[in-house]
Amino acid sequence: MTTTRIPRAEFDWAKFARAVTEFSQSLTLGSVEPLCIVEHGKLILGDDDLTLADDEQIEDIPTAPVERLEAGFNLFAPFAVFKDFCELGCADGDLIEVPDLHEENLEQDEDDEDEDAPLLTAKQRELIEATVCDENHSYGYEITLDGANLVFRPVLMCESDGECDVEALEEAGLLDKPMTRFLKSFVKQSRKSRRP
């Protein structure tokens, strides 16, 4: 998934916020709250941690996510978290299996009796290798407001020692397409497209 721009008027923010909040509450995300502020590549877990460039505290931080976006803050919305061994639970309700490429059963030996077993393509291997699947990492969106557009950037969040670092991604491996589909599911239908 590349950075996605969606006109704010065409995006159902309330439905999106509700979906990521319900997803966050259904899984254990540690200390991470849905739609929290991202500042300088870190999730801000408490408003007291927000500072200006000269380390001066920011006052009057809006509490509503939409108001935070309007005030110029970036937000983090979770999409996928470690669910179980080699699985990521996603906000759309799907489970994404991330095979271990080093397992013996993924490598087909010349002596294998089951010649019909599908081999992984180079593209599939590339997507698997680009997907992190462990209890310290989760995928999501860094959201900004740019004029009349909401901007969604895929990110990988790493939680370690009480800190949550956020890294922008060019692509999200096996999660690229599901993350894009999830966002598109909140784009409002225009009147023309509703007509038969």
Task: Please indicate, yes or no, if residue 196 is contained in any of the structural domains.
Answer: no
Residue 192: per-residue pLDDT: 39
| Measured distance CA(101)–CA(141) in Å, rounded | 27
| Measured distance CA(45)–CA(55) in Å, rounded | 17
| Measured distance CA(83)–CA(98) in Å, rounded | 11
Task: Please indicate, yes or no, if residue 49 is contained in any of the structural domains.
Answer: yes
Q: Are 12 and 186 in contact (CB under 8 A)?
A: yes
* Domain total in the chain: 1
Task: Please indicate, yes or no, if residue 179 is contained in any of the structural domains.
Answer: yes
Residue 15: per-residue pLDDT: 96
Q: Are 68 and 62 in contact (CB under 8 A)?
A: yes
The overall pTM is greater than 0.75 = yes
Q: Residue 25 pairs with which residues in a beta bridge?
A: none
Residue 131: per-residue pLDDT: 87
Counts of helices then strands in the chain (DSSP H, E): 5, 9
| Measured distance CA(160)–CA(126) in Å, rounded | 26
Task: Please indicate, yes or no, if residue 191 is contained in any of the structural domains.
Answer: no
| Measured distance CA(6)–CA(72) in Å, rounded | 17
Per-residue pLDDT of the chain (196 residues; tens, 9 = 90+): 789 999 999 999 999 999 998 898 876 555 557 788 998 899 887 665 565 545 555 667 888 899 999 989 999 999 999 887 889 999 999 999 998 877 645 444 445 555 555 688 888 888 888 888 888 899 999 999 999 999 999 999 998 887 889 999 988 889 999 999 999 999 998 643 544 5
Task: Please indicate, yes or no, if residue 50 is contained in any of the structural domains.
Answer: yes
Task: Please indicate, yes or no, if residue 55 is contained in any of the structural domains.
Answer: yes
Residue 19: per-residue pLDDT: 94
Range of the domain at 39: 4-107+115-186
